Amino acid sequence: MTVATSDVEAIVFEVIEELLDTIDTDFEDELSSSALLVADVGFSSIDFVQMIVSIEEKLGAKIGFQDMLMSDGKYVEDLSVGQVVDFTVNRLNNPQLAVATPEAVATPEPAAATGPTITEQDVSVFTTLIKPRQAAGAPPAAGKNPRAVFVLSPPRSGSTLLRVMLAGNPALFAPPELHVLSYASMDERRADLDGERGDQLREGAVRSLMQTRDWSAEQARDLIESYEARGESTGEFYAQLQQGLGQRLLVDKTPTYAFSVDILRQAETFFDNPLYIHLVRHPCGMIRSYEESDLTRMMPLMMKSSAFSSSAVAEMIWLMSNRNIMQFSQQIPAERWCAVSYENIVNDPQGQMGRLCDFMDVDYHEDMIHPYSDNNARMTDGVDNSSKMSGDLKFHLHSQIDPAAATRWRQFCSEAMLGEPTLDLLSTIDTEVARIRV
C-alpha cells in the first residue's frame, strides 16, 4: 500500500513542533514545508538526531536517514521540512532504497594531504595538557567482583555499534557508556561529571540500573545519589550493578578509560580475571569522525588543547589511547585479551561476533548482527529521551550495519596527513593487532 504524503507530513510537523518546545530557539513563525531546519528553525545536529529518532518511533520503521543527511560523503548544511517529508515518503514507499548499494560500498579515491603533521613533541605537550586521571580505588570489601568485559578504544571507533551488537546476546549485559572505572569513588565521579555534558555522561549508569531492576529513572538516580552521598567506592557500585545480572557478563564500553593506563589497571583491582576487547579503527576514519562530531565542543579536556587543530587533537587521542591500551595489554595474559577492528566488524559482522563469543565463552546469538532490533533490550533509547543515549548518536542515523562507513574518510583524508608516530603505530596495529587498512 502506498503511503500518503499528507500522513507523513502530519507526523513530521508534529515531531518538529514537539521539539520546538524543548530547544533554545527564536523561531516563532508557523511551521511550513519551506522552513529550513538550521537557518530558520534553529536546529543543532543533536536536534536532527532527536527528530529522526522520534519520526522513526512514530512510524514504527527505520528509514535510513543517514542518506538524507549526506551528500557526496559530507553532511548537508541544512534541509527544509518539506525535504524531510519527501525523503520519508520515498523511503516508506521504496524500502529497498535503504539497503546499501554496491556503489555506496565501493572504496572512494584517496584525497590529498594538507597541513603539518604531528610530532612526538606535540604528543608530549598534549599529554600534559589533558592530565589523565589516576584512578586508584580499593578492591571491593567482599572481594573482587565477578568477571566483566571491557571494550577499550579511542572515541569514534565504532564502539557504540559494537556495544549494541554485543547487547543482542542474552548472555551479555552491554549498557550505554558507564563512566565509572575512571574514578575511585562515586562522589569523585559526581564532581567530575558536572554540567549538561556531565549529566549526559552519568545517564548510562542510570539506564543500566533501570534495566537490571526494572526501575524508573527516579529510583535508579536515587540509588546512585545515595552512593555519591556516602562517597562509596566505584568498585562497590559495580558490585551492586552486577548483582542484578544473574549469569550475564557485564560489558563496559567507555572510550575515555583508554586515556590513562591507571584507569585500565583499576579493572584488574575490581574484577576477577576481567576480559578485554581492544577495538581498533583506522586513524583517518577516527579523525574524520571526530571532526564531524560535537566532541571538541562538548569535552572540556578538548578545549584546553586549543593550541592544536581539531584533526591534530583527534590524531593524538587515537595515538595516546591505543598506546595506553597496548601498554596495558602487556600485563594481561593472552587468553584474556582479544583485538577486533571496526573495519572487519562492518564487513564481516557474523564472523567477528563469532570470534568474540568464542573469546568470551558464550554462545553466538543471531540477534548480534541485527543491531537495530529491540531498542529497549539494547538500551539504545536514552533515560528520558531517545537522543540522550550516551555514546554515538550517529548510530541512530544508520538503519543497518553499513560497510561504506569504514572507508568514507578516503574522500577527504589520506595517510599522508598523519604524523610519523601515528604511522608507526598504524603499521604495528594493522600487522600485529587487527586489519584496519581495508
Instruction: Report the residue number, 41 or 319, with the smaller CB distance to ligand A3P.
Output: 319
What is the length of the chain? 438
Task: Tell me, residue by residue from 372 to 391, as one string, x for binding to ligand A3P by CB under 6 A and - for no binding.
Answer: -------------------x
CB of 412 to ligand A3P, least distance (A): 11
Closest CA to 81 of 49, 38, 46, 45: 38
CB of 17 to ligand A3P, least distance (A): 28
260 binds ligand A3P (CB under 6 A): no
Rounded CA separation 353/165 (Å): 8
CB of 292 to ligand A3P, least distance (A): 6
CB 257 within 8 A of CB 264: yes
Number of residues that bind ligand A3P (CB under 6 A): 20
Q: Is 94 left (phi over 0), alpha (psi -120 to 50) or beta?
A: beta
**Binding window for ligand A3P (CB under 6 A); candidates: 67-75, 196-204, 260-268, 400-408:** 400-408
Residue 74, beta-bridge partner list: 71
401 binds ligand A3P (CB under 6 A): yes
311 binds ligand A3P (CB under 6 A): no
Instruction: Report the residue number, 106 or 141, with the smaller CB distance to ligand A3P.
Output: 106
Amino acid occupying residue 426: L
Q: Which of 14, 86, 268, 292 binds ligand A3P (CB under 6 A)?
A: 292
DSSP string, 149-196: EEEE--SSSSHHHHHHHHHTSTTEE-PSP---TT-SBHHHHHHHS-HH
Stretch (H or E) spanning 69: helix 66-69
Task: Tell me, residue by residue from 345 to 374, as one string, x for binding to ligand A3P by CB under 6 A and - for no binding.
Answer: -x----------------------------
Indicate the SS3 state at residue 426.
Answer: helix
Rounded CA separation 5/89 (Å): 6
Q: Which of 64, 155, 176, 283 binds ligand A3P (CB under 6 A)?
A: 155
| Residues that bind ligand A3P in the complex, under the rule CB under 6 A | 155-161, 285, 288-289, 292, 346, 391-392, 394-395, 398, 401-402, 405
